[in-house]
Chain A
Amino acid sequence: MTLKGTEVYETLYCEILTPLALALKSHLAEILSGVERIDSISTRAKSPKSFQGKALKSGEGGKFKYSNPLYEIQDQIGARVVVFYLSDIEVIRNRLKEYLVPIESLEKSPERDSEFGYVGEHFLFSMPDELKPDGREDDCPHFFELQIKTLFQHAWSEASHDIAYKAPRPLTRLENRQMAFSAAQSWGADQIFEKLYRSIADNDG
């Protein structure tokens, strides 16, 4: 089954998105140069398979969720910055906003204070003009998604994606509790590392 735009996407993936993701990585590295405690900066172009999977998702009333996926799916280019400690997130956020213009800026966390689960900062930034090849501007995505996470937030979301999101069956109640438990431990580790870092940095200073 195909949908309007999915064939075009394959061509764009090779010609535009893959080189654009690479260029974005260098661009982000330049913007963040000199910032300490960055574990990694990574970017990726959404694979045609993943794009097709998302494009074919059903929405309300059994219709396709996206009527024009080429424009509506806005994570065709994704980026992630992983930092050591919680306070590093703010440093990265501020630096990025000095050079990039966001159209979305969200702190994702569980709805209730007593819950533990996915945590991370998500942004949709306008794609910098200088990364779009001359004459192909209209073929480039207007935006890219960027996440900022600590090492523990990243580790948990990767494992959670692999185990829970890709699970061939719904997780049992115990398994869900185990996922939440591991999220709580990851949250706790971030809290303690931040405290240790602050304490040592303050005493040193």
Chain B
Amino acid sequence: MRSFRVHTFLVHPGKNQDPAPAISGKEVNNAGKLTDLLLRIYQAQPEPRDFEITFRHAADGTKQNDCRDLLLAYQAKPSLEAGLAIATRLQSVTDRRSGMGLLFVMTGQHGTKFRTVISRFPANEGILAEVDASGLDVEFLEQVFIKQMSAYKSILVEDQHPPSLYWSGFATDRQAGAAPENISSYWIDDFLNADFAETPKAGTRRLADALRKAVKANPDLLIKEEIAAAVSLAEPIFKGKSLSIEEFCKHFGLSKQSTDSIINQLPKSSLAKKKFKFDVDEFKKTVPYRSVEMKNGAILTAPAGEFESVFDMTQEKNGNVRYSTVSKISDQRITKR
């Protein structure tokens, strides 16, 4: 069983600075509150607000990524030197806007896998208050880190055989707020040189396919209506945003039956939690039209995202509904059923 190793580095901004400021670092090896805190970060499972990333290959297409190489070197031989190489890379992309940060590099065996976690905490200010024999003493502190656990960036990679694997991991940017689309390009592009593990089109297509199949498969008209309405409203709401299928259902307050019906269309239920960036074009391509078939034989069809604005619907007392629309006729068709 390999032991848990941690190194920490104080990283000043160094982007476009020559010479770059010196980086101080040390191994954290004292058992105590700090180690307990770091162990909690290291052992934490990815949360729904974290998202999976994949390191990019080299510019010439070969299977190589500088940041991944540094993680692998540290994982293979955790040392101050290997940690410093990671801190130096971070410094080279850190500008004054990102400011000073305290970096923790941690690695060890986690279950059957080898886990490596890198966390960066921004510098904050604080006030130290102490009561001694002479009374209350307060002191202004300029370099306070980990003031709150809700503000840090990190990357977690774990696998059974790091040298061949370690291509994907979970990235966090708690400073960016809850929305992963706000993740700073400083962290994901410049430092990690990574992309979302799932392309926007792949995730959006899965959602749209599940919605389409759920409407088709479900005989309940209320569920069909609920899902179809969500499809019509989705484009402007989620354009460019990150979401999971579960979050999509939650956003529209879909009933449990509708949500279950959508999730049942997925190849496996765990995909409902998988994050992706919504791609409007892919959504339009996969669910282009919404149709309502009336009992009197009428079929109303409009682009899915415009159905609600193209047709006005009023509920009548006898349970009937009235759809109306005003426009010029552009074409007429006679088709087979």
Q: Which residues of A contact B (CB under 8 A)?
A: 68, 70-72, 74, 97-107, 124, 126, 128-131, 133-134, 138, 142-143
Contacts and interface: CB of A to CB of B under 8 A. Distances in A.
Interface in B29-45: none
A102 B61 CA distance: 9
A71 B160 contact: yes
B146 interface: no
Instruction: Tell me whether chain A's interface is mostly helix, strand or loop, or mixed.
Output: mixed
Contacts of B195: 101
A129 B202 CA distance: 11
Interface string B201-229: 11001100000000000000000000000
A68 B161 CA distance: 8
Contact of A103 (B167, B267, B268): B167
A71 to B, nearest CB: 4
A103 B61 contact: no
B168 A130 contact: no
A82 to B, nearest CB: 21
Given A100-B199, A104-B63, A133 B268 contact: yes
B320 interface: no
A106 B199 CA distance: 20
B151 interface: no
23 contacts: A68-B164, A72-B161, A72-B164, A74-B164, A98-B199, A98-B201, A99-B201, A100-B202, A101-B54, A103-B63, A106-B62, A107-B61, A126-B54, A126-B168, A128-B202, A129-B270, A129-B271, A130-B268, A131-B267, A133-B268, A142-B165, A142-B167, A143-B167
A71 B63 contact: no
Interface string B248-291: 00000000000000000011111100100000000000000000
A43 to B, nearest CB: 17
Contacts of B198: 101, 129
Given A68-B164, A133-B268, A103 B202 contact: no
A103 B201 contact: no
A44 B250 CA distance: 40
Contacts of A102: 57
Top 3 nearest A-B pairs by Cβ distance? A71-B161, A104-B63, A105-B61
Contacts of B167: 103, 126, 142-143
B55 interface: yes
Contacts of A71: 160-161, 164-165
Interface in B134-161: 159-161
B206 A103 contact: no
Contacts of A100: 199, 202
Nearest to B194: A101
A104 B205 CA distance: 24
A139 to B, nearest CB: 11
A103 B164 contact: no
Contacts of A133: 268
Contact of B197 (A68, A126, A134): A126
Contacts of A131: 267
Contacts of A105: 57, 61
A138 B271 CA distance: 16
A181 B112 CA distance: 52
A51 to B, nearest CB: 15
Given A142-B165, A142-B167, A104 B57 contact: yes
Contact of B205 (A70, A72, A99, A124): A99
Nearest to A121: B61
Given A133-B268, A142-B168, A103 B160 contact: no
A134 to B, nearest CB: 4
A134 B270 contact: yes
A19 to B, nearest CB: 12
Contacts of A129: 198, 270-271, 274
A107 B266 CA distance: 35
A107 B205 CA distance: 29
Residue among B160, B164, B201 facing the most chain A CB atoms (10 A cut-off) = B164
A170 B160 CA distance: 40
Contacts of A126: 54, 167-168, 197
Contacts of A106: 61-62
B285 to A, nearest CB: 10
Contact of A130 (B55, B161, B199, B206): B206
